[in-house]
Structure 1
């Protein structure tokens, strides 16, 4: 993330591909699975938009306010659906609550930094003030995403082994592959960790 805009383009492409796959997942599964896929698609595309290098498209300062408002609504939605009445397993919704809140936090920091200028750090090529974020909050989010990434990676190995080994291959569409859904979550966790490092 520090240095050339190439890292911003790569992060943008990775998040956009992840968001696209999550959109495919919205066509299959239960209502709960489709709801989760929609939230993950929003997160993927939002992260992709936030990672576009400023040299290519410098968003206006008010654009960060739009990001903050959009993800504040997503955070409230995740909080609403995390209630046991709506979901048997509210872990995904609580994770989306943390992710959406982190996006609001980063958008607010970017808006305060002016979304451009001569800061020491960059997010996808967008300048940030060197001390733009709250160090304790940034540190807590970094710890959360580090643990999330390690946990997701550990969960991915047994799922991939179970789906490929021991018996004939099961025909499943791209949208119904549990290991791909886990890989997308892992990818977005790594991308969020990388973006938070810039604060």
Structure 2
């Protein structure tokens, strides 16, 4: 992304890449443990989080993100969004979250390709950028509550595809990365 200072871009790349590594390893662990494909690959799963994390890491990488035409990023994330559409119907809010992430990345790609976007004075629609910032701030806070310790007497989920906090932690990291990218417009 050409809006970010080099140090920030490298930190963002590191955060997204580390998230991608963790989610990829968790995805492979779930597949090896015999989780059904729909649980191992659906929205909110480590596989879906890993794909988004790796793409965001590449986009933030200073030596790659700035050299690739922004419309290439638009095409990548538009394709990711189209692939997520069936998940919206099957998985509700979690599927919608991935679709929102893909659309936000499409918006970032379009904003980066707008005239004057390299100066930090253009490229994005202030009201849309603000709405996306609010969405991701709320998402990060709400997901953080899911990782909060369980109070005494509350049921604890010990099995199933969502029993680990890692996919939630990955969504938090990606949400924070999205906030940084949006704030750079």
Unaligned runs of 5+ in 1: 122-129, 163-169
Deviating 4+ runs (over 4 angstroms) = 1-4
Preserved contact between residue 75 and residue 97 of structure 1 (Cα < 8 Å): yes
For residues 12 and 105 of structure 2, the distance between their equivalents in structure 1, rounded to whole angstroms, comes to 15
Q: Check the 8 A contact 1:74/1:100 in 2, yes or no.
A: yes
Name which of 170, 174, 177 aligns with 1:188: 174
Whole-angstrom distance in 1 between the partners of 2:116 and 2:65: 11
1:145 to 128, 133, 136: 136
Between the aligned partners of 1:3 and 1:22, the Cα distance in structure 2 is 25
Give the TM-score normalised by structure 1: 0.74
TM-score scaled by length of structure 2: 0.79
RMSD over aligned CA atoms reads: 2.8
* Total equivalences in the alignment: 170
Extract unaligned runs of 5+ from structure 2: 153-157
1:78 aligns with 2:84: yes
* 1:49 and 2:40 correspond: no
Query: How many Å apart are 1:96 and its aligned residue?
Result: 0.3
Counterpart pick for 1:40 among 49, 55, 77: 49
Please tell me whether residue 22 in structure 1 is matched to residue 23 in structure 2. Answer: yes
